[in-house]
Every structure is written in C-alpha cells, then in structure tokens.
Structure 1
C-alpha cells in the first residue's frame, strides 16, 4: 500500500486543462531537451507518467518510453492520446517493469507524492534497479519554501494568477505538507482542491541516492541549466549508476 494521494477519474479528465501552464513550450521544451540528451539511444522509464505531458514529446524525439502510474484513470487518459506508450499501473516505489534503461526520471515534484521517508528511499532504489550501468536517475523537485515563513504565518503562496491561487502549508515536525488550490472557472464559480506531500531537501535526496548505490553527477536550478544556488527555489538533479569496475586481464599461464 502506498501513502500517495490517488487521483480519480474526474481529476484525470480535467488534468491537462487545469495544468495547461505546465504544457507551455517554454516550460516543457527545455525538460524534453534535457531528458532526450541524457537518454541518448537508450530507453527511458518515467515514474508517475500521468497523462504523458513529458513522455509523449519525448517519444516523438525517438526515445522509447515506458511508464509507471499509480492512477488507472490517469493512465487511461495517456492511452487515449498515445496507445503505443506502455504504462504499468502501480506505485513508483515498488513496481517493476521489464528491461533496463539508460534513463529513469521523475518530474514536477513527483517524489513528494510519496509521503513517508521509507517510500522515498524505496523509490530511489527502484529507480536504481531499473538502470543499466552508467544510466541516470533524474528528478525535478522544488526547494521547500519554509524560510519564506515570517513569524506567525501558516501558509506560503506558490502561485497567484487570474484563474488559480495556490498555497502550501507545512508541518515542520513531520515534513508533511498540503497544497491548497483555488480555481476560478469560466462561469465564475470557484472550486477548492488539495493534495498532500512530503517535502525533502536536496541533501536528503543525495543520501537516498547514496543508499541506492547512485552517485550525484550534477544539480542545476532548472531544465535550462541555470546554476543551483542558495536562492534557487527548485532543482533538477542527476544521479548516475556507476559502471562496474573492469577486471584486469589475467597473465597467461607460465608467463
């Protein structure tokens, strides 16, 4: 059993529309460029593939993509758009798929959907199990906005727009959080929705990667490769599964 929120059919049906800003070329294209470069001629596994926001354009670049997705309705939405991208329904911390991959990736804060540290560690280990030697595991994750809390404040806004306002609330004793979404619809109505997460710092991610046998290769602030600094609000991190050491050639008998 997983601790992740499970997205239902209604949420899946409106996902692409409600997340339209994530499909904008200036948001999506750099991510696809980054991942396609790492995949090279190899295959890619996407954890929490959703409706295929990243997988579909990545497959259009010639990368063989397979996905793991917890929500059957989300997987159904993807299959309606591209039936040739295989999707296995299951949780990303334990579900296995056949084969090995040059790239495993998890985008848009997906690691936080696993709401226990043990599940997040298991996710890193599951990614490592699917990697060929020399393969990379990539995550895109926000840096918790805790330092933006003035004394007495209970929430931090992460998006304020004409049609959507979002706030995060944090429990700093458990590293649990909730994203609160208020959306204004064309008819003038406003709806509320919430999703739960566990926040994790970059250094904790590195420890999880180490436990999975992975080595940090690079960390940047975003998909365009901007340097990661103390002021960065997100990071794209790349860990590599090391190549096995080569065995020395044995000298011929009697040499």
Structure 2
C-alpha cells in the first residue's frame, strides 16, 4: 500500500465515522457483524485494516475475540477512544505482509472495498497469502468489494463523476490497461479550493478467485450482499468467502 497515512491520516480519521452514511447505519453494521460472528464460530477473528473499529467493535461485543492490522495510527487512535476499543489487540503494519499475534484464526476479513487500496496485483496476491497463513484449517477469508463499474462508462470515456454539489465535485479516473483507478475530490470553501486523490486497483471476482487459489484457498460462498442474496451478473458488489481446506 502506498503511503497510507497520506490517505488515512489525522484529517481523514477525524471525519471518517459518518453516522449519516449507509455503511454506518446500525442495521447494516449489525448484519455484517452477525455474518462474521457466524463464520468465526468459537474461534478468534482477524480484521485487515481495522480502522476506527466500525465492524471490529460490534463483532467483539458478540463475544468474538478480534485482532486487527492497520497502517494508519490515526484511524486506530480513533478506535481506541471508543468504548471497548482499548481492549482489542492491533498490530500496526501493512496487512499484505504483517504477522499478527493471537492466531491461528478461524476468520480473517477485509471489508468495504479496502482490497482496492492495495494498488498492485502482486500486493493483492500477497494479501490473500497473508490471510491464508493466519487461518486455521477450515478457517475463512472474507472480502467485501465492489464489482468494477466499467459498464457505467460510455465508449471512449475513462472518467466518471459520482458526486456533484454546489461546493464539491468527485470523480473516478480509470486506466483500463493496468486496472488502476483513482477517486478524486475537489472541494471549495470560502473561495478556496482543495484537491484530494486516492489511488485504487480494481479486480474482477474471477481474478480474486485465482488469487485465493494461489494462496491455497477455495471459494465457499459469494453473495450479492451481507443478506446472502445471490450474486448475479447485475450485482454491483460482492461478499466472497474463501475457505482454507482442512
């Protein structure tokens, strides 16, 4: 991951938890934590990119021992300030290579498109291998990520605006040859402009399956969402579960 604190430092961490955003709604968080708790069973769980504890804290409240890996100290400090946040063990480091204590784990998970923050195919493969190393036989690695939105782009266009307001503009830029993309934000406040760009790498479900296979994992389930609805050709995201053979 490239200079993560440039993208998830103090400024981003201070406003990351947005109660009005869909992913922070209690019913959404509760559903995700419920699925993960079921997959973890009686064993501990490891969250790659634990961040501010959006999922880790409610999962821990369900009785699952949760460990985390994250590069951003600012995000983890936000989690530490929340009730129960000081009880979770967190290793500061790159989740594609960093080893965490407390294993082996019955569950490792990486949610909310964060696999795309890993900006090379090589590093994404390393992420799957690191997950597999941490898992006990029969354990699962879960990834939640969008399906690349290339069908929304007209022929010949590689830029897609996704938010336009009176004070800000946001747009994605795609490089089809390398599967690189970036989300770019322009905001105007009191006549002053600010620009922020976050790099990503998108991957198709079949490519992620191959990464899992290289790590010795096999696909167990793929859903359209955390409600376990079927994944179809019209799905805009997926929750995939790969299992480490016993």
Assess same fold via TM > 0.5: yes
CA distance in 2 between counterparts of 1:55 and 1:164 reads: 32
Q: Given the alignment, which residue of 196, 200, 224 partners 1:197?
A: 200
User: Is the 1:4–1:113 Cα contact (8 Å) retained in structure 2?
Assistant: no
CA distance in 2 between counterparts of 1:106 and 1:150 reads: 31
Match of 2:2 in 1: 3
CA distance in 2 between counterparts of 1:68 and 1:174 reads: 27
Give the Å deviation of 1:61.
Answer: 0.6
Q: How does 1:57-136 map to 2 (within 5 A)?
A: 57-81=58-82, 82-98=85-101, 99-136=103-140
Q: How does 1:41-60 map to 2 (within 5 A)?
A: 41-60=42-61
Unpaired runs of at least 5, structure 1 = 244-255
How many residues were matched structurally? 241
Match of 1:28 in 2: 29
Match of 1:149 in 2: 153
CA distance in 2 between counterparts of 1:3 and 1:23 reads: 26
Change (3 A) 1:79 1:26: same
Q: Secondary structure at the match of 2:86?
A: coil
Give the Å deviation of 1:193.
Answer: 2.8
- Which segments of structure 1 move beyond 6 Å, counting only runs of 4 or more? 160-164, 187-190
User: Is the 1:111–1:120 Cα contact (8 Å) retained in structure 2?
Assistant: yes
**What TM-score do the two structures reach when normalised by structure 2?**
0.90
Unpaired runs of at least 5, structure 2 = none
CA distance in 2 between counterparts of 1:177 and 1:126 reads: 24
Change (3 A) 1:14 1:240: same
Flag the structure with larger Rg: 1
1:210 matches 2:213: yes
**What TM-score do the two structures reach when normalised by structure 1?**
0.87
Match of 1:15 in 2: 16
Give the Å deviation of 1:28.
Answer: 1.8
Q: Secondary structure at the match of 1:83?
A: helix
